[in-house]
């Protein structure tokens, strides 16, 4: 009897801990209602060279990130941007991948996998965004810290994925780590997705900033083949300057 009661108690506890755990049939119904975003997608912002051949980190002249184009920086935000620029001058930095929110406007193709519990964005540079949609909230304040991709939760409003992201490590962006990012991602055509992204940072921005990031379906490849920075990194920093190392014999 005691063992049975204990087992029941454990079951109840597990059920209580599992966020929005659903019976299998209901889970299948939720699964079936999710929109179909299968395929490979890539940002279509005019920034990255369309041939895919050039160094993807060499934007076309006169074109900049949509994320930065009209960013309404406050005086404090300008000061942060200036400091970041000086830091970059003093010490050239190399990164391996794109952080949020820039990952949403990176030259990497990406796939989107949706389940009833979460939607996962997987980028060609091996960046991964988990967006939990099962009702779990953000991590408690004493268990969360800024990371390059932050903590994302979301829910579906029809076929629109609504995401809230917090705790983003701003890196070189002139934003505070407590900035809020709200996104509404939806399919707007057979081969088009869009992300309406709003950034709220009352310290560094003069007002909430909203930008629409367009994506198009990639048709030249049928799978992601990931990049990395380990295999043959020839971009060395010599005397504070970026350079290209000779090939290894």
Partner 1 sequence: MFETPPRRPLLAVALLMACAPCLAHHSAALWDSTKTVMLHGTVKQFQWTNPHCFIQLLVPVEAASAGDQREQEWSIEMASPFQVLSGGWKPGTLKPGDKIEVTVHPARDGTPAADFISAVSADGRALGKKSPQ
Touching partner 1, residues 126-185 (CB under 8 A)? 171-174
| Single residue of 13, 94, 139, 144 touching partner 1 by CB under 8 A | 94
Q: In this chain, which stretch among 1-9, 97-105, 130-138, 159-167 interacts with partner 1, using CB under 8 A?
A: 97-105
Query: Rule CB under 8 A: is residue 5 a binding residue for partner 1?
Result: no
Q: CA geometry: angle at 114 spanning 111 and 115, to 5°?
A: 150
| Single residue of 3, 17, 32, 61 touching partner 1 by CB under 8 A | 61
Question: By three-state DSSP, how is residue 191 classified?
Answer: coil
Nearest one of 194, 27, 51 to 112, comparing CA atoms: 194
In the numeric block, the tokens 């988990």 are attached to: 130
In the numeric block, the tokens 């599992």 are attached to: 18
Question: Which parts of 21-60 interact with partner 1 (CB under 8 A)?
Answer: 42, 44, 50-59
| Single residue of 29, 33, 136, 216 touching partner 1 by CB under 8 A | 216
5 or 232, CB closer to partner 1?
232
186 phi/psi in degrees, rounded to 5: -150, 165
In this structure, is the dihedral angle defined by the CA atoms of residues 59, 60, 62 and 63, taken in order, positive or negative?
A: negative
Query: Rule CB under 8 A: is residue 84 a binding residue for partner 1?
Result: yes
* DSSP code at position 20: T
Q: How far is the CB of 144 from partner 1 (least distance, A)?
A: 23
Q: In this chain, which stretch among 6-14, 158-166, 182-190, 214-222 interacts with partner 1, using CB under 8 A?
A: 214-222
29 or 94, CB closer to partner 1?
94
Q: Give the count of alpha carbons within 13 A of 131, CB side only.
A: 22
């Amino acid at each position: 009897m005691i063992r049975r009661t204990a087992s029941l108690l454990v079951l109840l506890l597990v059920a209580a801990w599992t966020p929005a755990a659903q019976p299998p049939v209901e889970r299948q119904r939720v699964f079936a209602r999710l929109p179909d975003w299968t395929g490979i997608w890539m940002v279509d912002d005019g920034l990255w060279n369309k041939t895919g051949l050039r160094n993807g980190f060499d934007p076309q002249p006169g074109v900049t990130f949509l994320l930065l184009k009209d960013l309404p920086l406050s005086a404090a935000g300008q000061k942060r941007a200036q400091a970041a620029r000086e830091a970059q001058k003093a010490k050239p930095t190399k990164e391996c991948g794109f952080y949020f929110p820039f990952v949403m406007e990176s030259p990497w193709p990406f796939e989107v996998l949706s389940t009833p519990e979460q939607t996962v964005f997987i980028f060609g540079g091996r960046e991964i965004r988990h967006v939990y949609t099962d009702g779990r909230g953000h991590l408690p304040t004493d268990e969360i810290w800024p990371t390059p991709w932050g903590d994302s939760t979301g829910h579906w409003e029809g076929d629109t994925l609504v995401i809230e992201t917090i705790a983003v490590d701003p890196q070189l962006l002139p934003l505070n780590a407590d900035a809020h990012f709200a996104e509404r991602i939806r399919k707007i055509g057979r081969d088009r997705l869009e992300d309406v992204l709003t950034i709220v940072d009352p310290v560094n921005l003069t007002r909430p900033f909203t930008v629409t990031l367009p994506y198009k379906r990639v048709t030249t490849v049928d799978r992601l083949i990931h990049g990395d920075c380990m295999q043959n990194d020839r971009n060395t920093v010599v005397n504070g300057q970026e350079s290209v190392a000779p090939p290894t014999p």
